[in-house]
A and B are shown apart, each in its own frame.
Chain A
């Protein structure tokens, strides 16, 4: 049960992008098209899995005072693997993602999970944590990228949705559009959170009232 919760917490409760607000640089820079967001998410998931796996395995071996450089070297190695793989097999996506592929090294999510989780937990939970965070991050990237692509270019995964006469809001695929999209999405999440809080408060009050009636 806890293995599953290690995975699912990365999807909603501790979604790295919407809740922990980490990994912002790639989240806004590459989400100009849904396909780019998807591949960035997959690459990050791969690196997260690999680094969590290795760091959890080596957690009792790496000395305390060199742990940060050690983690960084591990993460950088996996990033280089992902970088070379994408360069070889999907060169057009690799070109679109640009310097943000090597920048996965300093993606705060990966170093953060390595230090906060993988360094202190055994192999199984660490891998599930990495997987959950990666999938949650990918989903978040897809949401942002889809919105920006549909409104900003009129396409979805390259497929034109509204025909040739559609005037897209180009600002959406420019930097301000990225910031505004994320800001509005975060406000929707705030709204949803408030509704949850209201509902549970209402439920509690009703329960208290019913308690009084019975007494």
Chain B
């Protein structure tokens, strides 16, 4: 049934193949922003917004411009142009329409351009031969999964700030070991949905 497979897709992209903990996408901002909970939530929302829209636009351009003209090698450049322009556009619109939100997101907006998860989603949609609807579901799921992971991780890191730690584990060392454990935990989702 198409609805069931869309649901599978959502759960799969959000949890079973979580974008940051299993697929290693979007790690740089994930490690950089996750020191505080509120900034992590802001980043997650911004990423969700950009990922969904850029996923849609990239798919349309690939389907109706690149494939008919047999220009598949231009995919990377075209997609990255879409993302960079979209982020710039979102910044402009937000600055005018909702200055409060613009201030709250601050420098995170431009940082989304270098979030490999955003470009990764666009490319994976093509690689997995998703239809337009499947691409949308996949993008939303990916964004939700990324946001979930960064919020959980920010909670962990905030508590680690206060704890007495052996000096060799300071900084990113303890952060990476913690993510490793979180990743193992998310492996528990792999038996989540059986296809029988």
Contact = CB atoms under 8 A, between A and B. Distances in A.
Co-complex (A, B): yes
Interface of A: 21-25, 28-29, 68-69, 72-73, 76-77, 79-80, 83-84, 99, 102-103, 105-108, 111, 171, 174-180, 182-184, 186-188, 190-191, 194
Contacts of A73: 77, 80-81
B175 A175 contact: no
Given A106-B113, A179-B176, A180-B176, A68 B75 contact: no
A190 B73 contact: no
Interface size class of B (residues with CB under 8 A): 35 or more
B123 A179 contact: no
B31 A176 contact: no
A179 B81 contact: no
Q: Secondary structure at chain B's binding surface: helix, strand, loop or mixed?
A: helix
Nearest to A179: B180
Interface in B59-79: 73-77
The CB with the most chain A CB atoms within 10 A, among B80, B124, B127, is that of B80
A25 B25 contact: yes
Contacts of B21: 175
A104 B111 CA distance: 16
B142 to A, nearest CB: 13
Q: Secondary structure at chain A's binding surface: helix, strand, loop or mixed?
A: helix
A99 B123 contact: yes
A176 B119 CA distance: 23
Nearest to B26: A25
A134 B115 CA distance: 20
B168 A190 contact: yes
A76 B183 contact: no
Contact of A80 (B31, B77, B180): B77
B28 A108 contact: yes
A43 to B, nearest CB: 13
